[in-house]
């Protein structure tokens, strides 16, 4: 009936209340929903837990036709569809896990107009057969979940997402909404361009999470046993609380979970090496049991919605600020105080970069990911309020200090180490990547047994006598976190070379000041 006005915000609010039981929209939800109801394209960047899904689910329910949702993970899709069905919403999914019969049934339901929401994977859509079948159906909207996956500038690029750029052409006139929890300005631009959403309204909610208390602790040694012991100690001090410990490897998960159990804590290992049903069982235990601590790789995460997680500890740091924010963002979703603690060390950045280098991906993508990893480590070893640093990175230029993170509550005294940094870089350059960290310190101090003439003839031999060995190690570590030095984690004996040449040159020229958090021993008293 052409007389009926299109559904508006009141109808949307009523649906939010009826289906989800929520009294009102929060944050930017209402604005996003209004825009979609007015049939305009949208890019919405809302923090994890910000309620992105209802933004497109409600318009799909209210508007005539089928809402198509593209979601990257089958597990996530299954959960969402199940939850919607239990709430009485006509939703279904089409993914590789369905039998032929099931597929036929879903498509028949879609065709007969019985469905409000249909979830599909990007791979599914990439095959022309599915698009052909959907083409003549009336679509109410197309939602692209985890839209940062389309961008090479994002931290989780998925080539399958590239094909989604054609959706506008394939389904002309159907409003499209891209949603994500993590996208810096460059990634946002890339999403708009790649998905051909040039005319979309862009909504970016604040990334502030005032209930999170964040800190980063530099590992005292590269020893795994020591890191494990540190993690156990941190968890034991939070006994009875529910938490997540992220580990960089499956081995690490098993080890830490075992150690936690021996220490009387309910530790549950979780990683992609376990079967689906086994992982489901462990997830259920985590959700149901008091004081359960999930010890997991990044296989655990997307879509996990447990409100009372009181802490997230990184035994090994993630790969980017986006991943960092997403992972610590799993703490305190109930709004109550929660902690995010990240342990990091020079061997971690070395491994992160090494792993990236070995991954089969385009050079362009690799260099973006490398830069993202360095930015994360520079933040961890830096002296800027943690949330402020991350929010500025996401484009919130007016973000102020949080007042509660480790930096805010105990501001580190900064020491200008530009001159020592120039000396160290010059030494590494002359040594041509032959030596590891300890031996470079020896060179700077000019004290090595059996020194060869070629080395003692170098102009950098012994130019750092004014700083004690521990001070030098600190400076070298910091230069690694800044990406000015690179450690190649070769078999046991990592060699150190120069990092990003542009930035190294800038330090030589004094254009970048290098600041370290601790005054190098020997420097405070003057020369």
Residues that bind ligand ADP (CB under 6 A): 20, 22, 25-26, 29, 46, 48-54, 305
Using the contact rule CB under 5 A, the part of the chain among 114-122, 349-357, 408-416, 465-473 near Zn ion is 408-416
Measured from the CB atom, the residue of 49 and 521 that comes closer to ligand ADP is 49
Shortest separation between residue 4's beta carbon and ligand ADP, angstroms? 26
Sign, Cα dihedral of 184, 188, 189, 195: positive
Measured from the CB atom, the residue of 29 and 227 that comes closer to ligand ADP is 29
Q: How far from 183 is each of 9, 56, 186, 189, 391, CA to CA, in Å?
A: 27, 19, 8, 9, 11
Distance of CA 526 to the CA centre of its chain: 42
Measured from the CB atom, the residue of 206 and 249 that comes closer to ligand ADP is 206
Measured from the CB atom, the residue of 120 and 402 that comes closer to Zn ion is 402
How far apart are alpha carbons 342 and 158 in whole angstroms?
27
How far apart are alpha carbons 321 and 377 in whole angstroms?
9
Is 234 within 8 Å of 341 (Cβ atoms)? yes
Decide which of ligand ADP, Zn ion, none touches 408; Cβ closer than 5 to 8 Å per partner kind. Answer: Zn ion
How crowded is residue 362: how many other Cβ atoms within 10 Å of its Cβ?
11
Shortest separation between residue 51's beta carbon and ligand ADP, angstroms? 3
Using the contact rule CB under 5 A, the part of the chain among 83-91, 134-142, 390-398, 407-415 near Zn ion is 407-415
Decide which of Zn ion, ligand ADP, none touches 25; Cβ closer than 5 to 8 Å per partner kind. Answer: ligand ADP
Between residue 348 and residue 387, which ones bind Zn ion under the rule CB under 5 A?
Answer: 385
Shortest separation between residue 163's beta carbon and ligand ADP, angstroms? 23
Q: Please give the backbone phi and psi of residue 239, each rounded to the nearest 5 degrees, phi first.
A: -55, 135
Measured from the CB atom, the residue of 49 and 497 that comes closer to ligand ADP is 49
Decide which of ligand ADP, Zn ion, none touches 385; Cβ closer than 5 to 8 Å per partner kind. Answer: Zn ion
Decide which of Zn ion, ligand ADP, none touches 49; Cβ closer than 5 to 8 Å per partner kind. Answer: ligand ADP
What does the buried/exposed string (b/e) look like for 282-298 if buried means 16 or more CB atoms within 10 Å of the residue's CB? bbeebeeeeebbbbbbb
Q: Does 408 bind Zn ion (CB under 5 A)?
A: yes
Measured from the CB atom, the residue of 286 and 481 that comes closer to ligand ADP is 286
Shortest separation between residue 24's beta carbon and ligand ADP, angstroms? 6
For strands 66-70 and 139-144, give the pairing. Answer: parallel
Placement of tokens 């009102």 in the chain:
24
Measured from the CB atom, the residue of 385 and 476 that comes closer to Zn ion is 385
Measured from the CB atom, the residue of 54 and 197 that comes closer to ligand ADP is 54
Shortest separation between residue 389's beta carbon and Zn ion, angstroms? 9
Query: How many residues bind to Zn ion according to rule CB under 5 A?
Result: 5
Quick check: helix, strand or coil at residue 417? coil
Tell me which of 92, 302, 402, 425 binds Zn ion, using CB under 5 A.
402
Shortest separation between residue 455's beta carbon and Zn ion, angstroms? 44
How crowded is residue 449: how many other Cβ atoms within 10 Å of its Cβ?
5
Q: Does 110 bind Zn ion (CB under 5 A)?
A: no
Decide which of Zn ion, ligand ADP, none touches 405; Cβ closer than 5 to 8 Å per partner kind. Answer: Zn ion
Measured from the CB atom, the residue of 48 and 369 that comes closer to ligand ADP is 48
Taking the CA of residue 395 as centre, how many other CA atoms within 13 Å lie in the half-sphere pointing to its CB?
A: 13
Shortest separation between residue 478's beta carbon and ligand ADP, angstroms? 35
Decide which of Zn ion, ligand ADP, none touches 54; Cβ closer than 5 to 8 Å per partner kind. Answer: ligand ADP
Placement of tokens 């602790």 in the chain:
217
The secondary structure element, H or E, covering residue 516 is strand 515-516
How far apart are alpha carbons 148 and 49 in whole angstroms?
16
Measured from the CB atom, the residue of 171 and 393 that comes closer to Zn ion is 393
Burial class (CB in 10 A: 0-12, 13-18, 19+), 34: middle
Shortest separation between residue 404's beta carbon and Zn ion, angstroms? 6
Shortest separation between residue 417's beta carbon and Zn ion, angstroms? 23
Measured from the CB atom, the residue of 333 and 391 that comes closer to Zn ion is 391
Q: Point out which residues pair with 488 in neighbouring strands.
A: 495
DSSP 71-102: -S-HHHHHHHHHHHHHTT--EEEE-TTS-HHH
Decide which of ligand ADP, Zn ion, none touches 305; Cβ closer than 5 to 8 Å per partner kind. Answer: ligand ADP
Strands (E), 223-321: 243-246, 266-270, 292-296, 311-314
How far apart are alpha carbons 6 and 514 in whole angstroms?
59
Annotate 322-391 with three-state secondary structure.
HHHHHHHCCCCCCCCCEEEEEEECHHHHHHHHHHHHHCCCCHHHHHHHHHHHHHHHHHHCCCCCHHHHHH
Decide which of ligand ADP, Zn ion, none touches 20; Cβ closer than 5 to 8 Å per partner kind. Answer: ligand ADP
Shortest separation between residue 381's beta carbon and Zn ion, angstroms? 15
Is 256 within 8 Å of 224 (Cβ atoms)? no
Shortest separation between residue 409's beta carbon and Zn ion, angstroms? 8
Q: Does 405 bind Zn ion (CB under 5 A)?
A: yes
Binding site for Zn ion (CB under 5 A): 385, 401-402, 405, 408
């Amino acid at each position: 009936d052409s007389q009926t006005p299109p559904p508006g915000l009141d109808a949307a609010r009523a649906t939010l209340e009826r289906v989800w039981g929520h009294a009102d929209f929060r944050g930017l939800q209402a604005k996003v929903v209004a825009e979609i109801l007015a049939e305009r394209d949208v890019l919405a960047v809302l923090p994890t837990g910000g309620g992105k899904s209802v933004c497109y689910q409600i318009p799909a329910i209210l508007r005539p036709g089928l809402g198509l949702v593209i979601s990257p993970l089958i597990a996530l899709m299954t959960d969402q569809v199940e939850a919607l069905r239990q709430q009485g919403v006509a939703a279904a999914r089409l993914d590789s896990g369905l039998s032929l019969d099931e597929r036929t049934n879903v498509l028949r339901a879609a065709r007969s107009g019985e469905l409000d929401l249909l979830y599909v994977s990007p791979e599914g859509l990439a095959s022309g057969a599915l698009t052909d079948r959907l083409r003549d159906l009336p679509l109410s909207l197309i939602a692209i979940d985890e839209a940062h996956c389309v961008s090479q500038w994002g931290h989780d690029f998925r080539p399958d997402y590239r094909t989604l750029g054609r959706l506008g052409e394939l389904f002309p006139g159907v409003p499209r909404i891209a949603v994500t929890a993590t996208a810096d300005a460059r990634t946002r631009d890339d999403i708009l361009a790649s998905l051909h959403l040039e005319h979309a309204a862009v909504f970016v909610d604040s990334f502030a999470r005032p209930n999170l208390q964040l800190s980063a602790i530099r590992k005292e040694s590269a020893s795994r046993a020591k890191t494990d012991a540190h993690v156990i100690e941190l968890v034991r001090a939070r006994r009875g609380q529910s938490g997540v410990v992220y580990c960089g490897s499956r081995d690490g998960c098993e080890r830490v979970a075992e150690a936690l159990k021996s220490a009387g804590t309910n530790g549950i290992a979780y990683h992609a090496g376990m079967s689906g049903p086994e992982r489901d069982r462990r997830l259920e235990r985590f959700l149901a049991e008091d004081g359960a601590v999930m010890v997991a790789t990044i296989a655990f995460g997307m879509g996990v919605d447990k409100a009372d997680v009181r802490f997230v500890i990184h035994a090994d740091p993630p790969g980017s600020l986006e991943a960092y924010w997403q992972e610590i963002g799993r703490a305190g979703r109930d709004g109550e105080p929660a902690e995010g603690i990240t342990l990091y060390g020079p061997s971690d950045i070395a491994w992160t970069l090494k792993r990236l280098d070995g991954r089969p991906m385009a050079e362009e993508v690799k260099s973006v990911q490398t830069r993202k990893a360095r930015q994360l480590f520079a933040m961890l070893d830096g002296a800027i309020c943690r949330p402020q640093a991350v929010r500025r990175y996401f484009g919130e230029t007016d973000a102020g200090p949080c007042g509660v993170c480790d930096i805010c509550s105990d501001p580190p005294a900064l020491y200008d180490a530009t001159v020592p940094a120039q000396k160290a870089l010059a030494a590494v350059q002359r040594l041509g990547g032959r030596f590891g960290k300890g031996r470079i310190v020896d060179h700077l101090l000019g004290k090595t047994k059996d020194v060869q003439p070629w080395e003692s003839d170098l102009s950098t031999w012994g130019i750092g006598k004014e700083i004690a060995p521990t001070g030098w190690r600190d400076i070298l570590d910091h230069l690694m976190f800044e990406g000015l030095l690179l450690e190649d984690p070769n078999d046991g004996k990592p060699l150190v070379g120069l990092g990003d040449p542009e930035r190294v040159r800038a330090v030589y020229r004094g254009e970048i000041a290098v600041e370290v958090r601790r005054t190098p021993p020997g420097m405070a008293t003057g020369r």
